[in-house]
Amino acid sequence: MSRIRPYRPSDRTAMYDICTRTADAGADATGILSDDSLWGDLFAVPYVERHPDLAWVVEADDERVIGYIVATDDTEAFATWFRDEWWPTRQERYPRAAEPTTREERMIEHGYSQGPGRNANAAEYPAHLHIDLLPETQGQGLGRRLIETLFAELTRRGVSGLHLGMDPNNTGAAAFYERLGMTPLPADPGGQSYGVKFG
C-alpha cells in the first residue's frame, strides 16, 4: 500500500519528474518543452523550497515517490518571494522572449510576471496548492487524503481559504475538486479556478 509522508529534500528530483509527467492536462508532458525542468521550476519545486512544511508526498511500497501536494499559506508573500528570490536564480536558464508566442515562451513569461497583487482570488482565498499524482496512484483515495492533510494544517494555522488554478482541459481534476466541495472562482482567459473556505 502506498503511504503519505512529509516531503524530504531527497524527494526534489522526484518532484521534477512527477510534475513533468502530469503537466499536460494530467498527461505526460515529457519532451513538449525544450527543457522539461521548466514545469517543476514553475509549479512544484519553488513550493518545497519556500514551504517544505506544507508539502507531502505519496510513497509506493518500493519507496518511489509517485505523487505530491505542495502549497503556500500566503499567495501574496509567495509571489513576492518567487519574484525576488526564486526566479532570479532561473533567469539565465530561461531567457525572456521579447514577444512570447510559443507555449514555452508563454510559460517562461509566467515566471517573469509573478508578483503580489496579480491574483484576484488571493485576498479572499490566501492559500493555494498544486497536486500531482502519477496514474498508478489514482483510484486509491490518495488525492483526497493529500488534500485533507493539507486542509487540516491550513485550518490549524487559521488560514481563511484556499484557491487553485488548473488547465480546463483536465476534466478529471475539475470533477475531483468539485467532489471535495470546491466552488468555481473567476479565472484568467484560458484558465479555470476553484476555491474553498475554512472554518
Cell numbers standing for residue 3: 503511504
| Reported pTM | 0.95
From 18, 3, 11, select the one nearest 55 (Cα to Cα): 11
From 148, 131, 156, select the one nearest 73 (Cα to Cα): 156
| CATH T-level fold of 3-197 | Aminopeptidase (3.40.630)
From 151, 188, 176, select the one nearest 73 (Cα to Cα): 151
d(CA 178, CA 58): 22
pLDDT tens track of the chain, all 199 residues? 899 999 999 999 999 999 999 999 999 999 999 999 999 999 999 999 999 999 999 999 999 999 999 999 999 999 999 999 999 999 999 999 999 999 999 999 999 999 999 999 999 999 999 999 999 888 899 999 999 999 999 999 999 999 999 999 988 899 999 999 999 999 988 899 999 999 7
d(CA 157, CA 115): 24
